[in-house]
DNA sequence: GTCTATAAATTGATAGAC
DNA sequence: GTCTATCAATTTATAGAC
């Protein structure tokens, strides 16, 4: 966050950003916020640029000045959120136990931001279609997530903390599936289950870690 | 299937259906087939009546003669598939072990009809939005499915076939979540996992049944 | 950087002839 | 039951003024 404006050919010593840069950056941020909110309810195809622009308080043309197309806007929304997710479970978790805690914290966080959770749940289903603008992104993202979790569970395996008949690969697949599936049920009826609690149960059935 | 035409005020003795009825019925079936296919790729909102009508070989107006609106058409598609799903796991499974086998068979069947699987995966995510025409349907459907599985797992519990720290309710929730989540990963990359095999693993980690 | 105006396409649905 | 013709609304995106 903060002032992340990029001053070209300026080694970061410029004390005051040129007005236009600062304005542009804050507008972009506002657009991303609104886009996330709009895409989250109804999905990518239903959410319209008009709705997003209105929410920000600018025109559609004004919006498209910052993001050249709707698909690009979606990409930006997704990329921005990935940054945040990595704070819970880093791409290369050295400590498997710590990674388990991170997963639970992520589930707890997701329950606090239903909008983001809805966005991802809906988009990962939409993006199942090969023609969807975010298809490649989600295929890659799931590969990466699986790789990250395989690393975490491998660490546990090396410490004898994986239950028998459970491999790092199978644990990674099933854990991701569980998180995704819990979201659907939770989004349809939030009183029916506690995502973090349910994930904890799953991790206990797969590992010997006290989560 | 077969000739299910309803003959009003006719106690079912009419041996031959009036031509118009038979035609209407077969057209409806063709529309439902096409609709499932179209909705399956891209979801409900992206699929258009035009595309469905073209696939059937009739005009949009002709299509809307049979289903008065797009939302009604979707309802019909969903209702028709539920009939089929009940053949794998009946609403009131007396035998819990048999229900487990039914679940695995259902997963195997799903892998054989990717179109239907895509449809449900995408729609259950879309329908998360309260404004979606199928929202109420999916809320109800998940309630019913959970109730059915609670019955099945309760039967297992009574026979001492549930692992410790597993309740019928928690097993029902986690099993549904696992099936849903596996579908997402499988649809994004079908070589990455075997849904039935993965489900089998899960059921083994929850019950003592040889599945 | 933001606007107005507009293009160009697609959508779900209706009216009325046959 | 099916068609043609048409409507009214929305959509993303562009052009060009300020």
At A21 the pLDDT is 78
At A85 the pLDDT is 87
On average, the pLDDT of chain B sits at 92
CA distances from A177 to A93, A151, A153, A157, B195 (A): 20, 17, 15, 20, 10
Element housing B179 (H / E): helix B168-188
Split at pLDDT 50, 70, 90, the class of A205 is very high
The percent of residues in chain A predicted with pLDDT above 70, rounded, is 91
pLDDT at residue A16 above 70? no
d(CA A68, CA A207): 46
Mean pLDDT by groups of 10 residues along chain B of 211 residues? 46 53 90 97 96 98 98 95 91 98 97 94 95 96 98 98 97 98 98 98 97 92
At A2 the pLDDT is 44
Residues from A contacting B (CB-CB < 8 Å) are: 41-43, 45-46, 118, 121-122, 124-129, 131-132, 138-139, 142-143, 146, 165, 170, 173-174, 176-182, 184-185, 187-189, 192-193, 198, 201-202, 204-206
d(CA B207, CA B211): 9
At A22 the pLDDT is 79
Query: What are A90-142's pLDDT values in tens digits?
Result: 999 999 999 999 999 999 999 999 999 999 999 999 999 999 999 999 999 99
Query: What are B55-109's pLDDT values in tens digits?
Result: 999 999 999 999 999 999 999 999 998 888 899 999 999 999 999 999 999 999 9
pLDDT at residue A5 above 80? no
pLDDT at residue A70 above 90? yes
Within residues 116-175 of protein chain B, the ones with CB less than 7 A from nucleic strand C are none
Q: Where in chain B is the domain with CATH 1.10.357?
A: 86-206
Q: Where in chain B is the domain with CATH 1.10.10.60?
A: 19-71
The percent of residues in chain A predicted with pLDDT above 90, rounded, is 85
Beta pairing partners, A207: A162
CA distances from A117 to A74, A126, A174, B128 (A): 15, 14, 19, 11
At B11 the pLDDT is 47
Protein fold of B19-71: Arc Repressor Mutant, subunit A (1.10.10)
Q: A19-40 and A49-56 are packed helices; what angle lies between their axes, rounded to 10 degrees?
A: 130
Q: Is the dihedral of CA B78, B81, B83, B89 positive or negative?
A: negative
At the fourth CATH level, which superfamily is domain A86-206? Answer: Tetracycline Repressor, domain 2 (1.10.357.10)
d(CA B147, CA B92): 9
More confident: A3 or A73 = A73
* pTM passes above 0.85: yes
At the fourth CATH level, which superfamily is domain A19-70? Answer: Homeodomain-like (1.10.10.60)
At B85 the pLDDT is 87
At B9 the pLDDT is 45
Q: Where in chain A is the domain with CATH 1.10.10.60?
A: 19-70
pLDDT at residue A166 above 80? yes
Split at pLDDT 50, 70, 90, the class of A175 is very high
Mean of the pLDDT values across residues A140-167?
Answer: 98
| Token code pair at residue A184 | 């659907």
Q: b/e for B134-153, b at 16 or more Cβ within 10 A?
A: beebbbebbeebbebbbbbb
pLDDT at residue A20 above 70? no
At A27 the pLDDT is 97
Nearest to A139 among B179, B182, B188 (CB): B188
Split at pLDDT 50, 70, 90, the class of A10 is very low
Q: Which single residue has its CA nearest the C1' atom of nucleotide C1?
A: A62
| Token code pair at residue B145 | 């499915």
At B12 the pLDDT is 45
By C-alpha distance, the chain B residue nearest A42 is: B129
d(CA B145, CA B173): 9
Read off φ and ψ for residue A159, nearest 5 degrees: -100, 10
Nearest to B173 by CA among B205, B136, B145, B204: B145
Taking phi over 0 as left and psi of -120 to 50 as alpha, with beta for the rest, B43 belongs to left
B169 vs A contacts (CB less than 8 Å): none
Compute the C-alpha angle A94/A183/B106, nearest 5°. 105
Strand C closer than 7 A to residue B58 Cβ: no
Q: Which single residue has its CA nearest the C1' atom of nucleotide C11?
A: B48
At A6 the pLDDT is 45
B173 vs A contacts (CB less than 8 Å): 182, 185, 192-193, 198
Mean of the pLDDT values across residues A69-98?
Answer: 95
Residues 6+ away with beta carbon under 8 Å from A191: none
């Amino acid at each position: 966050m903060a002032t992340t404006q990029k001053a070209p050919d300026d080694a970061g010593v410029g004390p005051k950003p040129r007005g236009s840069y600062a304005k542009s950056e804050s507008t972009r941020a506002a657009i991303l916020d609104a886009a996330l909110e709009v895409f989250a309810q109804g999905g990518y195809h239903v959410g319209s640029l008009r709705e997003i622009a209105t929410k920000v308080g600018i025109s559609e043309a004004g919006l498209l000045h910052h993001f050249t197309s709707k698909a690009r806007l979606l990409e930006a929304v997704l990329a921005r959120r990935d940054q945040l997710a990595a704070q819970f479970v880093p791409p290369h978790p050295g400590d498997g136990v710590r990674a388990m805690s991170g997963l639970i914290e992520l589930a707890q966080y997701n329950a606090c931001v239903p909008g983001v959770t809805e966005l991802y749940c809906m988009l990962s289903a939409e993006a199942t279609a090969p023609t969807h603008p975010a298809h490649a992104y989600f295929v890659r993202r799931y590969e990466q997530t699986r790789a990250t979790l395989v690393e975490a569970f491998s660490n546990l395996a090396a410490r004898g903390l994986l239950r028998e008949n459970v491999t790092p690969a199978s644990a990674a697949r099933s854990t991701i599936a569980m998180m995704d599936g819990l979201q659907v049920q939770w989004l349809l009826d939030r009183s029916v289950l506690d995502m973090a609690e349910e994930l904890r149960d799953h991790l206990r059935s797969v590992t010997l870690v006290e989560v």
